Structure 1
């Protein structure tokens, strides 16, 4: 924001040196001295002299004009506006004062006052090119970017000398509208017109940000992850030895591979769309014939942006394959391949509300269906197929650049075909992403980011069930915490390390366990 203010000041002042009214020969010496001091950029001396002149002759529009201009150059905009307004209303009025007054109100962010004088200037045809440019600045600050672009284009047509500065402002408008391809073209035009100018220097800085944005917002994005890990409890071995039975070798190494393809086209207008495909594979060094898995997920999310809020229709489908033997007591030499294990579908609308530039609220309410295959079924009550309501409420706080905090509440209701699996679930979670390096260090060494996450899942089953050793209405309390570091050592690659701790507390001993998972790997983005 500070950079934009500085740029707007440079743009406002440099191209526009006010014309000195042609009555100078008849002016008193003290007024001429004040004007001379102003022209020599001795603004304090000019203010002192012209203030005395105004006291002696309050009706002088020339004294009011140059005193206002001296205050403006000294960045004392409130005093500048007072005297420029006098210069524009005293008789004979100074037409240039109207232009400078509009610009002063713009610098003070008094846009409604600026627009009143802008209307007068357009009616009186005062400095049409500069008035068109100032109109563009005001519209841009109001985020009426398309109208602002039209005004800047008009300024270029009326006065070719405005081409570079107008193209720069058009580029800024296009950035705000996320039309980065066109913004890049405009900024390159600014640089080519005068490569050594201050404006070209600013344009290069914005161009670097635009090119980074084009990479991050490219329509088609590929992410590949390969992670080696160690899992202390692959099979969720119960804590109680009586419940664990003869389960052994629960610890082992793992290899997780993920591929994600995102398609997010840049659409003109308010329409939104994104699609995603994800492949995930987990291979274990032990219990590989019962716990290795493959997952393929597809999601579509068309939507419409209403300005302060957006509405999307979220559709998700996931197909899980598991190396499993549906027999209750597999043969000792059983070596099952991947079998169709689960189809999961969810559908529902999501509403995102932009509370301000740093806070985003999202609400989702939908329906989900789970169909299991090759289950180990002991009876009708153990069938896991389920459907029911799924909702969540999420808040994201962008509290600094590249850092955010996400708090979320999820509710699920699973009405299963088997009484054993019907449940209500409540999950609260928090995620924090925080850069650990200064911008300067990150540019030199690559960004290092801390990732913290935690959740608590309260799952209450609906019916009392005989679990063999105990008859209970099952209640699980699952607590998960993770700590991760991500170092982007190359534009397209990151090194990621993560530790995750899971504690599942349950009133049914066979479901109570602890688990520690360690992972280290590489993630590539294209």
Structure 2
């Protein structure tokens, strides 16, 4: 009997202790319950409980503090500011609320209040690294980038763990100041500190953009290329030879060399100019009558309107065929580049050309000297972190020639896409359709000529490094006409190397 009694007492004692412990563990106030829900990230439930706590204990500064934290999490920054201000100004003051309050003031662009509380945090020595860091953010928003840079530098001195974030913000500050070299250097440091973080990936993207900008704004640029090509129809032999007879071999190998040089300067944020020279040379292995030698000189004034650019390229070209004067061309091409979105660009322009063929035509109706104009537009869409693009272009053109057989109106549509494949390999695809309706009855064939030219090309390129590239290209041309002599097909295969200097 004694044993049963003893066991009963032990059981009752354990039950009592469990009940007391449970009662002690269970939060008794709305504030305690609200804090637990906040720590569990159940913010809506926490907000409801803390509102009850505010009604129960309106003078409790801890209630204001946690309400401020919850409103901040819910991005109700005005309410967060009000409650955190109570926590900072109340008795006893909650020091931890200071940095939270400064961040909230920053989010709602209340720069003056943010600077006021930063001063208080600095006086109290409140987490100096974090205080200097958020001070830099506020100064950036206030337009004081040099002071912001110093604040970020101070923050990483006080707290080395902030070094990567501080360097990133310093890079953004230099970017805002248009100190692009300093910005690139800081973004590079961010990546080197730890390349696996999100902030390093953002910095790397900025660095790539700045590298491209630096490349584009170099005062002198030189591009050169050399290709070996096979062309199965150099002479544009008609598909139907019944009206021309056998005109001999039309295929040949050739060497192609190109050089593009550019000297430019951006004088200020609104104006820049470039001088250009282009050289194009082909040497046929057998059909030397079709060797080409072409030179182009030009000037390109550009006007910068925010993120948009209006340029007016003016060029003069002179071309020889087999060492004989063949064609001179004067071109003016006003062009507007309009930023539609961060990854979209539109172009609108019109091209004016004076074409002067230097070989005297026996038949005056075949005289191709002309005034040509061609309005058009294009749209670029960049994706895959700007490593790929899609381009759609349309152009209307018309030529008013001296010879009646060559007056025409044309419509041209082009689609191009480029995408990386693996590592240094990329693929470029181009499709083009060009429709020409000639204005007059052909004086030889007694019919109005109508042509359709369809072409497609695929290019595979391999980047040896950022300046040298190997290319392999195939192009097919299908030129159709209601006059057989102008109808032909053509296939060109080329391989070569390009270089940038």
Same fold (TM over 0.5): yes
- Alpha-carbon distance between aligned partners in 1 of 2:245 and 2:330, rounded to the nearest angstrom: 36
Q: Please state whether the residue corresponding to 2:208 is helix, strand or coil.
A: helix
- Alpha-carbon distance between aligned partners in 1 of 2:42 and 2:240, rounded to the nearest angstrom: 89
Query: Conserved in 1, the CA contact under 8 Å of 2:184 and 2:210?
Result: yes
Greater Rg over alpha carbons, structure? 2
- Alpha-carbon distance between aligned partners in 2 of 1:262 and 1:291, rounded to the nearest angstrom: 28
Aligned-residue offset at 1:31: 12
Corresponding residue of 1:393: 377
2:136 to 133, 136, 146: 133
Corresponding residue of 1:300: 299
- Alpha-carbon distance between aligned partners in 2 of 1:166 and 1:214, rounded to the nearest angstrom: 24
1:412 to 397, 406, 413: 397
2:455 to 476, 480, 486: 480
- Structure 1's 237 and 148: CA in aligned 2 closer, same or farther, altered over 3 A? farther
Corresponding residue of 2:429: 452
Aligned-residue offset at 1:488: 1.0
Corresponding residue of 1:239: 239
What's the C-alpha RMSD, in Å, of the aligned pairs? 4.0
Corresponding residue of 2:145: 149
- Alpha-carbon distance between aligned partners in 2 of 1:205 and 1:348, rounded to the nearest angstrom: 36
Query: Conserved in 2, the CA contact under 8 Å of 1:479 and 1:502?
Result: yes
Corresponding residue of 1:221: 221
- Alpha-carbon distance between aligned partners in 2 of 1:45 and 1:56, rounded to the nearest angstrom: 23
Structure 1: segments with no counterpart, 5+ residues: 1-28, 140-146, 324-337
Q: Please state whether the residue corresponding to 1:453 is helix, strand or coil.
A: strand
2:367 to 383, 392, 412: 383
Aligned-residue offset at 1:480: 0.9
Corresponding residue of 2:352: 367
- Alpha-carbon distance between aligned partners in 1 of 2:153 and 2:495, rounded to the nearest angstrom: 58
Corresponding residue of 1:316: 315
Corresponding residue of 1:65: 65
Corresponding residue of 2:262: 262
Aligned-residue offset at 1:371: 1.2
Aligned-residue offset at 1:104: 4.1
- Structure 1's 247 and 405: CA in aligned 2 closer, same or farther, altered over 3 A? same
- Structure 1's 365 and 70: CA in aligned 2 closer, same or farther, altered over 3 A? same
- Structure 1's 523 and 231: CA in aligned 2 closer, same or farther, altered over 3 A? same
Aligned-residue offset at 1:179: 4.5
Corresponding residue of 1:461: 438
Q: Please state whether the residue corresponding to 1:301 is helix, strand or coil.
A: strand
Provide the TM-score with structure 2 as the length reference.
Answer: 0.76
1:78 to 65, 75, 98: 75
- Alpha-carbon distance between aligned partners in 1 of 2:363 and 2:408, rounded to the nearest angstrom: 18
Query: Conserved in 1, the CA contact under 8 Å of 2:84 and 2:100?
Result: no
- Alpha-carbon distance between aligned partners in 1 of 2:41 and 2:395, rounded to the nearest angstrom: 67
Aligned-residue offset at 1:482: 0.8
- Alpha-carbon distance between aligned partners in 1 of 2:406 and 2:466, rounded to the nearest angstrom: 46
Post-superposition CA distance 1:82-139 (Å, at most 9, x none) = 4443122579356975753452476xxxx5xx11x22334467655866652334546
Query: Conserved in 2, the CA contact under 8 Å of 1:231 and 1:253?
Result: yes
Aligned-residue offset at 1:149: 2.2
- Alpha-carbon distance between aligned partners in 2 of 1:229 and 1:156, rounded to the nearest angstrom: 57
Provide the TM-score with structure 1 as the length reference.
Answer: 0.73
- Structure 1's 88 and 407: CA in aligned 2 closer, same or farther, altered over 3 A? same
Post-superposition CA distance 1:266-320 (Å, at most 9, x none) = 65523343443221111222321x2110111233322222224322112122221
Query: Conserved in 2, the CA contact under 8 Å of 1:135 and 1:151?
Result: no
Post-superposition CA distance 1:200-259 (Å, at most 9, x none) = 978985786377436633513322211111111100001112233231110111221111
Structure 2: segments with no counterpart, 5+ residues: 1-27, 123-131
Corresponding residue of 2:23: none
Q: How many positions carry a matched residue from both structures? A: 450
Query: Conserved in 1, the CA contact under 8 Å of 2:356 and 2:369?
Result: yes
Query: Conserved in 2, the CA contact under 8 Å of 1:458 and 1:477?
Result: yes
